[in-house]
Amino acid sequence: MRVGIDKTFGQYNAPINPETNDYLYLPIPESKHVFQAGMQTSYNSIVHSFNAWSKRNGVAELFPKHLIDLNCHLDPDFSSLTYGDQGTGRGNRVRDLNPGDFIAFFASFKPIAPCRHRLVYALFGILVVNKVVRVADLPTEQHHLNAHTRIADMNGEHLVVFGQPERSGRFGSAISIGEFRNGAYRVTEGMLDAWGGLGVQDGYIQRSANPPWFDRPAQFMSWLNEQHPALHNNNW
């Protein structure tokens, strides 16, 4: 699943240090939903983490002014290890997930130092499925766990995926997977070989109605385990 802020959804790409793969996860802006009391997530709450990231990476990156005072759609939420989806369109695959299946998350980041590409497409988290639950079936005391249940006008047919805690999380470092090839950003050919292929033409990873799926998911997981990603149960 492609997630996170970009030029289309938020008019900004979150930063990455291409030399260390240190990155910052920034969710997309939230539409004008009314939230249940105390359940909104504002970009203001991320500014401190943004500034700390910039200082750690030695850049004078300033938090984008147009996002200040807006709320964000914090999804996936790695603090609760959840991901929400509408359950239609690209969400049809989410509806079919079973325990042990997984969702790998990637985003397009803007490098803070000279880099081969204008954007760095990278994996930065994974949820290994524990269960998939309809929003209507979630008890009230769990509504704070995902963006799709924090809003007051929640759609009961939406879905929330819960990850297995010991196997899910946000990566400590992003894993670069993309390159600009044949007029678009695509998974590198070497990566496609290592994963056993993707069910999209020539590794196409720009936004589309149908997300890429793994032709050989077990082979991808074997590759991922060899990368030894540190899994964090937090967003920043």
Contact 90, 48 (CB under 8 A): no
Question: Does residue 164 or residue 96 have the better pLDDT?
Answer: 164
Residue given tokens 């539409």 in the structure block: 31
Residue 23 has phi, psi (to 5 degrees) of -140, 170
pLDDT for 90: 67
Contact 144, 135 (CB under 8 A): no
**Residue 136: pLDDT over 90:** yes
The average pLDDT across 92-110 equals 94
Average pLDDT of the chain to the nearest whole number? 94
pLDDT for 31: 84
pLDDT for 11: 96
Closest to 41 (Cα-Cα) out of 11, 2, 84: 84
Q: Per the omega criterion (within 30 degrees of 0), is the bond before 76 cis?
A: yes
Q: Residue 43 burial (CB < 10 Å; 0-12/13-18/19+)?
A: buried
Contact 172, 61 (CB under 8 A): no
The average pLDDT across 159-168 equals 97
- pTM recorded for the entire structure: 0.95
221's tokens: 């997981």
pLDDT digits (tens, 9 = 90+) for 203-214: 998 776 678 899
Helix segments in the chain, DSSP class H: 47-56, 92-95, 147-150, 189-195, 217-227
Closest to 112 (Cα-Cα) out of 154, 56, 162, 156: 56
pLDDT digits (tens, 9 = 90+) for 39-73: 999 999 999 999 999 999 999 989 999 999 999 99
Spans of all domains in the chain: 15-232
Contact 29, 68 (CB under 8 A): no
**Residue 181: pLDDT over 90:** yes
Residue given tokens 């929640």 in the structure block: 154
pLDDT for 195: 97
Looking at the chain, the whole-number percentage of residues with pLDDT higher than 70 is: 98
